[in-house]
Amino acid sequence: MNMIKYIIFLISLCNCTMGIGQVKSGWTVPRSEIPEKYKWDTHDIFVDNDAWEREFQLLEADLPGYEKYRESLSSSAGILLEGLKFDESIKKRLGYVGLYTKLHRDVDMSNAGYQERWERYKDLESRVNAASAFLQPTLLMLSESQMDVYLEEEPALQIYQHYFEALALKRDHIPSPDR
């Protein structure tokens, strides 16, 4: 019985080795030989690297805007809506910056420029997350009744209703803003 397992093992090993050779020699195609219609077009995200750089710098400049909401986010329905829309806008823009960066980096992992841009993006993502870290704990400090009042006062907050409900389920697991 052990001899049969050994033979099956050797056959599997040969098949794997042969398959690897085929992939290396027959399946890898240089990107330059791939027709354009099969490559992603990042121009819909940013026209060029200069446009990406401008948006990156704008995001960095907008980052201090979170401070406006740190102490006042829960003070009124209008401010709450404004703060949530600000956060949503920042994170949407950051998503585009990240997507463009990742797609370019993945095209050629050996390109130092793409790697450097990826590191800059990851740093900015960390700073955005740190700047916005107060949002969830602040929202969780609002009572359900206060949230209901805000939802009634500001109908545009209804779009966040599911978010508020999902967040409420985490109430016991998120630290207060002062920690």
For 85, the 3-state DSSP assignment is: helix
Residues making up the chain, counted from first to last: 179
How confident is the model over 148-169, as pLDDT tens digits? Answer: 999 999 999 999 999 999 998 8
Percent of the chain with pLDDT over 90: 63
How confident is the model over 25-80, as pLDDT tens digits? Answer: 556 777 778 888 888 888 899 999 999 999 999 999 999 999 999 999 999 999 99
pTM of this prediction exceeds 0.75? yes
pLDDT at 19 over 60: no
Q: What's the N-to-C CA distance of the chain in angstroms?
A: 63
Using an 8 Å Cβ cutoff, are 164 and 139 in contact? yes
Q: Where are the beta strands (DSSP E) in 86-150?
A: none
